[in-house]
Structure formats: C-alpha cells, structure tokens
Structure 1
Amino acid sequence: MPRYTPADIEPRWQAYWEENKTFATPETPGSKKRYVLDMFPYPSGDGLHVGHPEGYTATDIVARYARMRGESVLHPMGFDAFGLPAEEHAIKTGEHPRVQTQRNIDNFTRQLKMLGFSYDWDRVLATTDERYFRWTQFIFLVLFDTWFDPQQQRGRPIAELPIPDQIRAAGEAAVDDYINSRRLAYLDDALVNWCPNLGTVLANEEVVDGKSDVGSHPVKRIPLRQWMLRITDYAERLLSGLDDLDWPTGIKKLQSDWIGRSTGAEVDFFVGEAAKFEAWKSARGKSGFPAKASDDALRVYTTRPDTLYGATYMVVSPEHPMLDQLTAADQSAEVKAYCEKASFKSDRERTEGDREKSGVFTGSYAINPVNGKPIPIWVADYVLAGYGTGAIMAVPAHDERDFEFAVQYELPIIPVVQPPADAENRDDILAGKACFAAVGNAINSGPMDGKDTAEVKQQITAQLDAEGLGNSAVNYKLRDWLFSRQRFWGEPFPILHEIDQAGNATGRMRGVDPSELPVRLPELEDFKPHGRPEPPLAKAGDEWLYVTIDGKRYRRETNTMPQWAGSCWYYLRYIDPHNDSALIDPEKEAQWMPVDLYVGGAEHAVLHLLYSRFWHKVLYDRGHVSTPEPFGRLINQGMILGEVEFTGYFDENDQPVSTKDVKKSAGGGRESKDGRKVTLKSIADDQVEKQGEGFVLKSDSSIKVESRANKMSKSRGNVVNPDVVVDEYGADALRLYEMFMGPLEATKPWSMAGVGGVRSFLDRVWRMIVDDQQDELVLQSALSQGDCDDEQNRMLHATIKKVTEDTDAMSFNTAIARMMEFTNFFTRSQQRPIEAMKTFLILLSPYAPHLCEELWKILGQDGSIAHQSWPQWDEAALVQSSIEVPVQFNGKVKSKIQVSPDAKPDEMIQAALEDAKVQSLLEGKNIVKKIAVPGRLVNLVVK
C-alpha cells in the first residue's frame, strides 16, 4: 500500500478502536477529569450533513488531546429521539415511530463511527429507550413532589409544605387543592398554540408567523388544561447563576433577556362606577393591597409608576380572564370577532414594532387610582397574556406602542415627563404630538410636578402601598413552562387521576410508584390526530388506561411530555448509563460533574439550556446532584453554509449584471454615496477578476458586490452528505477541513475544493514518511535515526508549542496551519529524524487520527497512538543562535551571512566585511556607505 488510501486505512482503525475499547471511560477518574459533551442530535431520516460534524470534530480533538495529556475523559454520544418528525412519518406510512427512529439511529451511528469520533459507545443512549425514559419519568415525579420555598430560595419536598390552618379545617379536598397549587409540576388552564392539523399543542418556538414549523399548518391560541412546570420560581437563581458560567457573553445575555427581570409596581385600577371609587379606595386603605387582584379591579404591572398621571386608557390582551366581564353587551360581537382573529397570530406577529396597531373598545371604564379619572378599557393584540398581568395602563406620551395606538384611535395623549431643553421634537412632545420614553422631571402630575423620575417613582409607589392600591414588585418575562403535548410519540406522564364509580374525575391525583416505572407507551395502530385537543393515548385500551390501587380506580394521564424532557438531563445519564436502581450513583456524579466543555449550536441558547439548568437546580435542591449548574464552559460552533455556486449578479433593482462586469477589489469595495449596492447571490472564485478581498463593479468601483451563501437545507438542495465526502477524500480530510475553514465560532461557506486542498496536505504528510513511488511499502530514504539539527529542532519545538497552545484555546485552524508549515519544512529537508516524525504524528493525531495511527504503525510502533503522551516543548530550543541576513551591494543581494539574532549594526557590518564572498566582490571598489538593519540586512553602497 504505497499510496495514502483512506478507504483502506480508516475502516481498519475504526474496527481496532471498537474491538479494543480504546476510548472507554475509566470507571474512576484520576486526579484530573475532562467531561466533553456534544449537544446530541435528533436522528432524522436524512442522516448527517456536513454541518453536524463541525462541533463533533471540535470536541473529539479536545477529548483525544486531553487523554494524551493524562486526563480522565468522558466523551459520550446519544440521540434525542422522541418528537413530531417520527410521528408524522408514522401517520403518513403506518410504520411505528420506533421502527423508523431505530433505523435513523443506526444510520447516524454508522456515520459517526465512519468519522472516527472517539466516543465511548458503551454509554450510548436514546431518549426513547425505556431504561432511559424511566428516569425521565422519575424526574417528573421529583418535580411533582417539590414546592419552592421563597424564604429559603430552594425546592423542598411536598411533605414539608406548611398547610394553613384554615385550609386544613376546610377538609381533605381543600388540602389537596392547596398542595397541587404549590407543586412545581401542576395542571392549569393555559393559553396554548393549538395546531389542529398536527393534533397537538406547540411551544412558542415551534410556531413561525402563526404556522407550525413542521408542515406550516395554521396554529390557533386556545385555552387548554395542561401540565405546567413552575420555572418562574427559579427565575432569580437562573439569572444570578449566569455570573459564574464560562459561556459566551451573547448567550448569557440572551438568557438574561429571556428571563427578563424588571422592577416596578403592581397597581390596581377600580372597574366600576366612578361614584363608588372613593368607598372602594377607603376599604382598600384599611385592608391593604391583596395578593391577588379582586374581581372589581384590573391589575397592571408597570416599570414606570411615575407616569400614572399620564395613563389615558387601558388595554387588556384578547385572552385576559376578565374580558367577558369588561365587555359591554353592545360591544360583545365586535370584541369576540377581534379575539378570534387574534388567536391565529403568533406572539411575534402581535408585537412587531412596525405593525399597524389594532384594537376594540370594550365599552367599560376603569378609574385611575392617582387622580380618580375614568379611562376607557380597550382590547388589543399588542398586549400579551403571558407578560405581566396581561393588562397595561397606556401612557401614550411616553411609550411608543401606546402612542401609535392612541394616534390610531384618537385617544388623549398627556405628557407627564418634561424632556430636557435640547431634546429633539421638544415642542411636539409637550403638545402631545410626539413620544418621549426617557426620564426627566414630572409635569401635569399634581403634587409630583417638578420632581425627577426616580423620586416620583419612589413616592407614588409608597403612596399606592399606603392606600392599598399598589406595591413595589419584581417582574419576569419568563413564563411557566408548558409541558404537555397531545401526541403519541413522547414520554407518558407517570400520573394517575382518581375517578369515581361513574368514571368521573374527582380532581385528586397521585404519582405512579417509582418502583413501577417506566410507564410504557400503549400499543396503538392509529397514530393520526383527530383535530380535537384530546391526546391519541386516550385511544388506548382499558387495560392500559385504568389502574386500581387500594380499592380506588384511576385513569392514566394521556398527554405526553414534550421532546425537551429527554434532552434536559441526558448529560447525567451518560455518567451512569446502566444503573437500573437509581437516577445516578452519587459518587459517580460527584466525580464527573459539572460538564467541563459543552459544544452545540447557538439555536439552543435559551430554551434547551434554560430548561436543563432549571431541572438541574431542582435536582440539586432535592439532593440528587452535587453541583448547582450543569455546564461549566459552553462553546457555540458557527453554522456551515451550503456551497457557494454562481447564480448571477444583480443590481440594486434586482436586474442581472454580466459576469464580465464584476471584479475583485483590493480595497474591498464600498457603498456609493447614494447607498447603491449590487448584490451577488453567490459566487465561484474562478468567475471573477481576482484583485483583492471585496467584489465591485469594474465600471464603478464605488459599488460594492456581496458574496452570499445559504444555510444547508433540503429545500435549497445544498445539503452535502458526509458519506460522499468520505468516499472521495476520506474522514480525516473532512475532519481537518471543517476545523481549517476558520474559527470554530464563525459562520463559513462549504467548499469541496477546500476539502481537496486539505486532502493534499494529508498526502504530503504520508509522503514525508512513506515512499509512494514504490510498489511495496517503503519508508522514505530521507528518514534517519539521528537527531534534529538546530533549525529542525527549532521548527519541531515551535510546532509543539503552537499546536499545544492553539488546541488549548480551541483555535484549531491556526494549529493546523502550523502543522502544514512543519510538513512543508521537513519535506524539503534532506534528513528527517524519525523521532521528530513520531512527535509530529502525535500532534496531528487528534485532528487526523486514522492517518496518524497508520503511520505510527508503519514506523514500527506498537499499540494505538491515542495512548501516547503529549509532547512538551523546550523553550531553549526556540532560541536561535544565529540568523541568516542578506548582504546587498547598492541594494542588490550579493551574499548571505550568519549573525546573532541580537547582533548590533556594527557587528553585522563587521561580519559582512569578514565574509570571503563579500571580500572578493569588494576588490577594486570603494565603500561609500555602510548600512545595517538589525535582524534584516546589510547594505554596502560602493563605487
């Protein structure tokens, strides 16, 4: 085998690793451990595309490198296998979701092994495995059995929940209701995204512009009794916990914004006749501000209580529970029609800033608590039920959305915050013709006039509190987690609902005993949704649906958990995957947690990571894990775009521009003064004039041309299958190219030509050691048993240093570039010390493991190169004893000399004059001037 043939080499080493369990996780980690984790994939029927292995290759390099550094490594893989796609396939084909899911998992596994990733395959898991989702159900029972103690700021067992005497005196049913209302997992009538075509509730992130992201079906907002998880109780801890995480700043900000902590005030507006307001206010002053709004008050949350005097109308969301009560009879039809239309809009559609506002007057009024004036109550879809209280006090002079709405419907606009003297549009603001959202001094605010915003906030809040009309409050955008799905292919809830002899629910429920887990999915022949919000599991036979315990009859919960459930805790199961007696062995958990490096796409920045952190904190509170956070360091790999192919150039009017009119510009191009720009949909390098980095028109270099590529997707037809790449170039070339494209976090376009370039580098590495001109395997004659000379030794140790530091920093592209320099240097060397070659192969092996294993063996070494120790560089070897500098005569190089790197100009000139060649060239000439640039050159001006 004289030539480098990945098709022969790679499968052989993959089989070796599997047979010898080369990457098995040690049962007990040593003094230093490294838990390296990928966000596990959903095994779709399409298999991997080349975007998937980018993060996997990065973690594999880190894992291999860490093992060679003597660390104990846990590097696992698994599959997030429940969810809608498999069930949609089942509906279309009649094939059970488990069959297709397993087929997809087998294909993904084949592809992952084909790429040589050093996973511990004895720990592989899928969320659909009964041995796995048994413990997902167990965690749900932990949530069901936990309440959050706000004083201690932690979750505690339900058995420790204090029951008020008046609740206990009301009887067993009242106690049950009280307990259920405090559980972290609870049932509630929630406003949900209902998709009749898919037959399930969808999470907000599964809805795009009012349609499902799977199938693009219409989605409607309806109230439905659902399982909820009280993630809001952990909002403050989820927010404060971000401070100590080694995560990208942008990701932490996304989570912080999603949690959305703000401070302000809750305020109650009396709903009723103005004449009754004073009596209501007096009663409130005696009883104080109630924990929950009463039926005769509309409660709002505001971050600007200082603007209360400017509240000229109120708005409730179309889903507000008081809407029917607020709607006058003559407005009922119009309000009902408006709300029906709003139910088909997504939250994003409803809150887009540039959308024209719409609303309907309810026919009722509320009383502004600070001035006693009645203000109209409207219903409008720009207010969401899920934020704050689902109602707002509208201050159009100081809120842009309220201003637009007030202008639209000719409602009063009263400025109550005076802008500074130099404010833009100041006169319009004071006249109520423009909006001013900043702070200033109060105007039109009665006794508050002249005071600054901060003082007014404090005084009005204190006044409201004293009168029982409001109080200071902290609010979060974060909503409780909607945790039910009306589908078949998901984890069944381990919950039993008590029923009476007539088969009616009593309202009492209990968890399945943990010893009886898992609750398995029933056998169903019909997976099709029926368009109604009843789950398919309700079609199961009585043998599955009904359970009798201690003489009481129960009906199983027929909703299933969302796909998020299994992905919330898989990192824990990898540590102890075969444990059938506990969620995880405490000793093993303490040894491996937290995850040291977690790599995945930025699209999971909020929900998966937030949900996982929430579950982990509950498990931490209940003593199942030892760390307050699951993931120490997070890296988001960039997106790999589809290969850029030429489709044409287009001007600012989207008219085609000829290829011959486009060139590359040394300056990179710029927009013209009038903002004109030519957009290049996509481009191939051989179709432009190469003059620099940017693209411009040849006729007008001020007009910039942009190169673009698209995300890989089946619809665009630009998906690249790694099978094709491996068949042509080999797995090592694919791995190396994905790391060489650019920084790991950057977005990069795919290029098959680029893969070919990296494959050429691997060919050079092979030829550096193997003579591929022979019919049989023969080592290069340049290989020697001797030591490196000074220059070779310097190159070797500089490479060790650079590759080590860059691998530590996950700057893989620059590490590869340095190894390319090493290869070019030693390929030119007449003698190549074998020890230097062996050291280089160790450096390259995390990046191109198959090739390095093969060459390691060819060099006569035993065992796997993966077990070798990572080399150390010698600082002394990096110091150059001499450097070569040119000697010029009148600016033209005539000779070269060796001097010390820190030689001074006089020393360089002296060395030049002592050089035999220089002396011969000086015969018959006079030196007019002597010039020396330290480390660069000597120039002799002669006549």
Structure 2
Amino acid sequence: MEQRYDPKSIESRWQQQWEQDGIFAVSDDAAKPKYYLLEMFPYPSGRIHMGHSRVYTIGDTLARVRRMQGFNVLHPMGWDAFGMPAENAAIANKSHPARWTYDNIDYMRSQLKKLGYSHDWSRELATCDPSYYRWEQLMFVRMWEKGLVYRKKSLVNWCDTCQTVLANEQVEAGNCWRCDNPVDQRELFGYFFKITDYAEELLAKLDELPGWPEPVKIMQRNWIGKSYGAEIHFPIEGRDEVIRVFTTRADTLFGATFMSLAPEHPMALELSAGTEQEQAVREFIAKVKRQSFSQRADDKSKEGVFTGAWCTHPLTGRRVPVYVANFVLMEYGTGAVMAVPTHDQRDFEFARQYGLELVEVIAGPEGAVGVDNMTQAFTDYGTLVNSEAFDGLGSEEAKRAIAAELEKKGLGRETINFRLRDWGISRQRYWGDPIPVIHCAKCGQVPVPEADLPVTLPLEAQLTETGGSPLPGLEEWVNVTCPVCGGPAQRETDTMDTFVESSWYFARYACPHYDQGPLDPGPTDYWMPVDQYIGGIEHAVLHLLYSRFFTKVMRDLGLVKVDEPFTNLLTQGMVIKDGSKMSKSKGNVVDPDLMVQRYGADTVRLFILFAAPPEKELEWSDRGVEGASRFLGRLWRLGLAVAEQAAGVEPFAGGELSEGLKALHTKTHETIKKVSEDTGDKYQFNTAIAAIMELVNQISLAEQDESLAGEPLRAAVLREAVEAAVVLISPMAPHIADELWQRLGHSGYLIDQAWPAWDEAALVREEKLVVVQVQGKVRSKLTLSADAADAELESAALADEKVQKFIDGRPVKKVIVVQGKLVNIVI
C-alpha cells in the first residue's frame, strides 16, 4: 500500500467495504439500549450543499459515538420528495416531476455516500412513493372519521407564481416561502386538519421537552398564542344579533368608541347591504383581498371604511359605529375588535385618521393626561377612570369585575383564546399526495374506502408551462363511482401540503417495508421517540409544530404510544462565507463535491466540526480546510511510524514509566476523558478535536524524543496514545481511522469497537501548575506538589519573588485560592 496519505483511494475503498458488509444496517435488539438519531431529511433538489454537509456530519459523528458507546443506533435517510419545487423545476427543464425527482435522489444519494455517513440505506424512503403515501391517505381517512378533517370555503393565501394555496406559516413578509413572490388572498374550498383541537396539549407539552432549545419553544408558544381574556357581545342596532369580540384588556371596555371588523368577517358586507355605504365597503374589501395577511398585519397605514351600521356598548348603551379595517384579521380572535383608541396604538392612529371619538379610561402613575394631550396610546396597565362603577380599580382587578358584570347581563364571559388556526392542507398542484376524497352530488364528500387506497397520482399527466395542475383535466382519473350510492362522482383534484409527508416520516423509518398498515407496532414502540433530532431553526413552527401535532394524532389513532416525536433537538447554525449565508446569487457557494475531490471527505468533515460549535454559525475558511487536511496528514504519518515501531507490541497496560512517557500516558487518558465529555451531552466536537490535536502533538514530540529511545515501555505507551487518537477521531474522520486501525494490526471496523475508557489513576499528576494573580492580573506561575493544600499554595504564592515585587510592601487584604488552578492576591 502507498505510504503517503491518499484520501481518494482510502475513502473509496472503505466506503465500498462498509457497503459490502452492510455494517450500518440495524435491527431491533431489545438486549441493547436504543438510540434513534435523525437529521431532517432533504428535499431532492439535485445537489448536496454545504448546509446539508454540516447537519449530516454532526449527526453522523454523534451516531458513531453512540454506537461505540454500546447503543443500538438507528440512523436512517430518506427524501422529502413531493412539492412545488420539483414541479416547477420539472416544468423549467421540460421533464416530468417523477423523473426529475428520482434522478436527483440517485445523484444526491451517491454524494452522501461519498461523505462516509453511517446511514442505514436499507430503510430509505421517498415520500412520493405510493408505498409511503398510501398510509398517509389511510390516516387522512381515519382522521376524517374522527372529525379531525373538514372542508370549508375560506379566504386563503394564494401564490399566483406557484399557482397554489399557502398556509399562514408559509408566507414570509408577504411573500411565498418557496418562490419569494407576493402573495394575495383568494376564496377557495379546502381541507383543514383540526390542529386547534390539540392547541392546549401542544402548548403544555413544551414544558416537558428540556432537550429542546428555548428559542424554538418560545417561537412555538408565540405561534400557539394562548391568551386569557374576555368574550364581549355588542348588540347590533335594529337586529337580534351581536358582534362578538375577544379581548385581553376588558379593563379598557369603557374606552371602546368604535368597532373594527375584518374584511372577510361574514357581517362586513351584510351590515352594509342596502345602505349608501355598500359600494364603498365592497370596493374596500376587494382592495384588501389583494394583500396578504402578513402585509395587512404589518402595514403601517391603517385603512378602513364605515359600514353604515351601529352597535351598542354592552355596559353604557352608547352607540358605537362599525367599521371594516385592513389591519383586523379573521384568522385571530373572532375577526372583530372593540377599538379603544386611547389604549391601543393601531386604534389610536385609525381614530385620528378618521376623526373618531377618544375616551381615556386607564390612568398611569402620573394620573389621567386627557385625550387632547395624547400623542400616542397609553398601553400599560393602571387605574380605571371614566369607567362608572369600576373607577379606581386596578387593571387586573377590573378585568375580572367587568367580565363578571358582563356574564351577569348575558353579554360576555371570561374565556381563553388561541392564535393558532387549523392547518389548511389543500394545494392546487400536481406533484403531491392526492387527497383521498370523492365528490358526489347526492352524498357530498365521501372518503375513499380504505380497500381502494392508495389513490395513485397519475404519472401520465402532462404539465404545462403555466404551472396549473393537470389533474382536473384527466377525465378517466377524475370520473369515478360514488362508493356510497353508486352514482357518478369525481375525485378530489387537490393534493396535500408537502408538510404532511414530513410530519410522520420519522415513525415510518421504524418499519419502512411494513405493508399491513402505516406502522408496525413492535418496531415503532421500540424505536420511538427519536432520541436526537437535528435540523435548522427555520423549521421551528412549520415542520416541528406539525410533527408534534401529527404524533398526537397517530397516538389517538392507536399507531404510536408516545406523546412527542423528538426527545432532544439540536438546531445547527448556518454555513456562511464572506460574512453572508451561502447562496448562488451572492456567488459564495462552496460545492461539497469539489471539496471532497480535492481534500477528501474526512478533511471536509473534520473542518465542519472543528470550525464552530454545532449551534453557532460556521464561517467557511479555505485556510481552515487546508489546516484540517494537514492535521490528518500528520496523524497519518505518525500512525504509520508508530505502527512500524510498535509492531507486535501491546498497548501500555502498567509498569514504571519515566517522566516523559508518564506525561504522554497521562495526556492520553486526559484526552479520552475530554473527548468523551465533549461528545456526550454537550456536542462540543470542536473542543474534542482540539484535544485530539493536542494529544497528537505530544505523541509527535515523544516519538521524536531521542532521550526516550532506550525506554523499554516506549513502544507500548506510543501505541496506547496513537490507538486512542485513532479511535477518538474515528467518528469525525472514519475513513482514515479505519485505515490506520488496520495498519496498526487490528481487524474489523472502529464503529464496532467499544468507546475507550479513561483510567482515573492515570489522570493524577504529581505536580500541578498554579497561576498567581495580583489584583486579577497574572504575575507568576508556580509548579507545586499535586497534593498541596490551600495554605501551602497561599504561602508559596506570597513568597514568590515576582509576586513580592507587585505587592511592594502593601498590606494583603485577601487571598483567594482556586485549588489546582490559581491564587489571586488582593492588596
């Protein structure tokens, strides 16, 4: 074999050997503790980017460590293969989404394998495969039967570029999360999952996830948006109906001077019908429909129109005009807001713009300021004024008292509201999971019988450049017989939101080939939940919230026993270059393939892990990659040298050592301890690698130290140290590690070796280095006995000549001793 380090030949050989022997395939083994490690699966876009490389390198390192620690590790891979991007790309490339997707999967699979990841490819799945989505359709049908799915007409976010509906979570700053083009509103029929039925549990269970980053939990809490408040009824003049509002500030009720309705509120047009305001209201509603929900919520200009109708204040009987306003969203609360301009800034700006009445009802610590002196709304809590019998009460007390009075009059009550709204899953695109529903003129919407599943997506469909779905035009596919009455009927032509597929894939990995149902109870109960999930924080609401919801649904359908899908969550930082996130438009993309070809997979992996802790941003550095390559070359040369010098010699197992060899033996076990701790719960791979580098430096010095040449235990200590370095680096750089392990005379694979244990006795040093500070500044360093007590450390520090110079005869006020580390003298 070549003596020089040639990563290309080494890595291809070991990858072939690993695959041939199937060493990453895992089976259920109750005799071992299980460890399910999963990275968020990729969308098959065609190429692996450096962001992929980072998340999978972090995951693979952890998977290898856990397996060496004795766990039965499940580490699968698959493809989030449905969705608009595949369809759009296929149209652009004059291809079919299926062909485009599977070609990309083949190429990306080969890229991942070249990086040496320990994925169990026998469990590979693609969500566009009928063997996967048939079970998703079955769960849809069972959710329909349990009342967890419904169909309704509603205003939805519409992306004209992608020709489809978007969930609120998929609209970012008024634009489509996929194509970044503007989103407007459209009224359509669609299917909804009743995620709101689980709002309370989704919120409460966040407190039972200590292994999740707090920022992710905060984002989910905010999205679920639980609010304690009051529902208040404002009777409509001339009608027997009321306008219901939800407010968290019932204490401001006496300051409500007008009502604001969302443009999509069912009463918005109804109240103006037959009045001189009807046309103005219609035109205003049409204008607002051209805006997205987020644009309306963020819009600085507050616009509205009077409906011509009035309602009555429930406690004062005062007439209150009813407006339609662009900043009120039907998605939140009841779609109606009691406007209190003195104590809500949006209402204040609106009232000033339209000349509406202001009544101050909350006084701050300085007392009431008067509406004529207000330049902005007072939004803090305070003491009630101008509130009749409730004057003088504090805000919190007043909330309860006013709610009680409203309930006594039958015009309101205390209640809880959630910001979370049901998940609209209908998409008007072709490349997705067909919604298994049949429309019958006589029977209405009928779910496809389970025996007829899956409803297979017709691959003969031809896409057009306009992007609209071809499904409605496939008469042979659309026209069917109603399973209830036997009459003529039509299939649903909407497909499911691709986030449905990614909301349960993690459970299917436990039994990807099971064909009797969505999940095989035995393996699913063994593997679930995922012990460690790794992926970007950008999925904090979309994917992670939906996955939590779907897990609870699967639990209630009797498919899983767990409440939560992911016990621990690691959100890795972005990869950036030249101060910006890598992107083609900025011209700062680094191609992992080119890096592997030039330096080898182990170098790429090592740099990714060494450059930054997993949760921090990683700044790409060509010099850093070259440094990682040089280190591996050094380890290679040192490993071969020691393999030759220590041929036939066992690693050190005991005996008297000289100071030089004892220092290396101690360093070996200090490194084992450090790497074990840093790859344990902290995932600080960068500091673990730094410790291995320090060990390699000390091995190199000992190997070149001529004074140790005649030592009888030299070869044994060198072998112990080199083997420790090779074993410890193996999860990060597995190819070179397996090669050196073999060169050192061992057989088998390092992933099957037990993780090394450190010897506590070897960690005991006879001497220790103690830093001495005067007034917090380092003034000397002392080498003292390892068992020196605090008093001895203090005496030695005070007696030191360098220290005496800085004390300069001044009285010592205090001496602080940190055992084994430092002495700080305060003068």
- Is it true that 1:21 corresponds to 2:39 in the alignment? no
Q: Distance in 2 between matches of 1:729 and 1:212?
A: 38
Q: CA deviation at 1:807?
A: 0.2
Change (3 A) 1:84 1:531: closer
Correspondence for 2:644? 779
Match of 1:669 in 2: none
Structure 2 partner of 1:396: 341
Over aligned residues, Cα RMSD in angstroms? 2.7
In the alignment, what sits opposite 1:247?
A: 212
- Supply the distance in 2 between the matched residues of 1:383 and 1:184 (Cα, whole angstroms): 27
Alignment check: 8 A CA contact 1:802 1:818 kept = yes
Q: What residue number does 1:341 align with?
A: 287
Matched letter for residue 257 of structure 1: N
Residue pair 2:157, 2:166 contacting (<8 A) in 1 also: yes
The CA distance in 2 between the partners of 1:744 and 1:935, in whole Å, is 31
Q: Match of 1:51, SS? A: helix
- Is residue 538–residue 545 contact of structure 1 (8 Å, CA) maintained in 2? no
2:634 equivalent among 753, 759, 764: 764
Distance, in Å, in 2 between the alignment partners of 1:358 and 1:762 is 65
Post-superposition offset of 1:608: 0.8
Map 1:313-324 onto structure 2 (within 5 A): 313-324=258-269
Contact 1:783 1:834 in 2 (8 A): no
Give the Cα separation in 2 of the matches to 1:472 and 1:249: 30
> Which shows bigger deviation, 201-210 or 469-478?
201-210
For the 8 Å contact 2:461–2:470, the answer to whether it is kept is no
Match of 1:723 in 2: 593
1:457 aligns with 2:399: yes
Q: How many residues align?
A: 768
Mapping of residues 667-682 of structure 1, within 5 Å: none
1:587-602 equivalent positions in 2, closer than 5 A? 587-602=522-537
Of 252, 255, 261, the residue aligned with 1:307 is: 252
CA contact (8 A) 1:218 1:344 kept: no
Q: Is the 8 A contact 2:604 2:625 kept in 1?
A: yes
CA 1:741–1:363 in 2, change beyond 3 Å: closer, same or farther? same
* 1:435 pairs with 2:369: no
2:85 corresponds to 1:85: yes
Aligned residue number for residue 824 of structure 1: 697
Alignment correspondent of 2:806: none
- 1:510 is matched with which residue: 435, 446, 461? 446
In the alignment, which residue of structure 2 is the partner of 1:474? 416
What is the CA-CA distance between 1:801 and the residue it aligns to?
0.3
Partner amino acid for 1:864? Y
CA distance in 1, matches of 2:298, 2:477: 50
Q: Structure 1 regions of 5+ residues with no counterpart?
A: 147-182, 281-295, 499-504, 645-708, 773-777, 887-895, 912-932, 938-943
* Aligned sequence identity (%): 45
Give how far 1:226 is off: 0.5
CA distance in 2, matches of 1:334, 1:897: 86
Deviation at 1:506, TM superposition (A): 2.8
Q: Deviations over 1:198-227 (max 9, x none)?
A: 321122343344443444444321111100
Partner Cα distance (1:906, 1:636) in 2: 47
State the alpha-carbon separation in 2 of the partners of residues 255 and 398 from structure 1.
28
Matched-pair contact (CA < 8 Å) for 2:98–2:459: no
Deviation string for 1:257-293 (max 9, x for gaps)? 10000011111212224xx7xxx6xxxxxxxxxxxxx
Q: Distance in 2 between matches of 1:907 and 1:330?
A: 95
Change beyond 3 A, Cα 1:732–1:123: same
Q: Deviations over 1:142-199 (max 9, x none)?
A: 21121xxxxxxxxxxxxxxxxxxxxxxxxxxxxxxxxxxxx21000112111233432
CA distance in structure 1 between the aligned counterparts of 2:271 and 2:607, rounded to whole angstroms = 64
The letter of the residue matching 1:806 is: D
Q: What residue identity is the alignment partner of 1:52?
A: H
2: distance between equivalents of 1:936 and 1:725?
42
Residue in 2 aligned with 1:807?
A: 679
Query: For the Cα contact (< 8 Å) 1:208–1:346, is it kept in 2?
Result: no
Query: Within the alignment, does 1:446 sit opposite 2:388 as a pair?
Result: yes
Aligned AA for 2:695?
F
Q: Tell me the amino acid that sits aligned with residue 805 of structure 1.
A: E
Secondary structure at 1:613 match in 2: helix
Give the 3 Å change call, closer, same or farther, for CA 256–338 of structure 1 in structure 2. Answer: same
Name the aligned partner's letter for residue 696 of structure 2.
T
Name the counterpart of 2:490. 555
Q: CA–CA distance in 2 between the matches of 1:199 and 1:936?
A: 66
Q: Which amino acid aligns with 1:185?
A: V
Matched, 1:536 2:470: yes
Change (3 A) 1:227 1:883: closer
Q: Give 1:195's match in structure 2, choosing from 138, 156, 159.
A: 159
2:429 corresponds in structure 1 to: 487
SS of 1:398 mapped into structure 2: coil
Cα distance change on mapping 1:906 and 1:42 into 2, 3 Å: closer
- Per the alignment, residue 66 of structure 1 pairs with 66
Aligned AA (1:341): K
Of 615, 622, 630, 1:752 maps to 622
Partner amino acid, structure 1, of 2:227:
S
- Tell me, what secondary structure is at the counterpart of 1:128? coil
* Post-superposition CA distance 1:430-455 (Å, at most 9, x none): 85543211222211111111122222
1:410–1:823 CA distance, 2 compared to 1 (3 A): same
What amino acid sits opposite 1:347 in the alignment?
A: F
Instruction: Give the AA of the match of 2:56.
Output: Y
Match runs of 1:122-271 below 5 Å: 122-146=122-146, 183-245=147-209, 246-271=211-236
In structure 2, runs of 5+ residues without a counterpart are 704-713, 772-780, 797-816, 823-827
CA distance in structure 2 between the aligned counterparts of 1:521 and 1:434, rounded to whole angstroms: 57
CA distance in 1, matches of 2:33, 2:701: 40
How big is each residue's C-alpha offset from its partner over 1:460-510, in whole Å with a ceiling of 9 and x where there is no partner?
212221222112211000001011000000000111222xxxxxx235232
CA-to-partner distance for each residue in 1:225-279, whole Å, 9 max, x for gaps? 1001111111001101111112111111110110000011111212224xx7xxx
2: CA distance between counterparts of 1:114 and 1:462?
Answer: 68
Say if 1:453 and 1:838 are closer, same or farther in 2 by CA, change over 3 A.
same
Where 2:50 maps in the other structure, the secondary structure is: coil
Q: Does 1:379 align with 2:264?
A: no
Closer, same or farther: CA 28–440 of 1 in aligned 2, 3 Å: same
Q: Which amino acid aligns with 1:28?
A: D
Amino acid at match of 1:400: Q
Q: Compared with structure 1, are the counterparts of its residues 363 and 873 closer, same or farther at alpha carbon in structure 2 (3 Å cutoff)?
A: same
Deviates more, 1:479-488 or 1:543-552: 543-552
Deviations along 1:288-325, whole A, 9 cap, x unmatched?
xxxxxxxx221111111121110001111111111111
2:801 matched residue in structure 1 = none
Q: CA distance change for structure 1 residues 779 and 343 in 2, over 3 Å: closer, same or farther?
A: farther
Cα distance in structure 2, aligned partners of 1:524 and 1:216? 30
Rounded to whole Å, the distance in 1 between the matches of 2:411 and 2:44 is 55
Task: Check whether the contact 1:384–1:390 (CA below 8 A) recurs between aligned residues.
Answer: yes
Distance 2:628 2:64 in 1: 21
Query: What is the TM-score normalised by the length of structure 1?
Result: 0.78
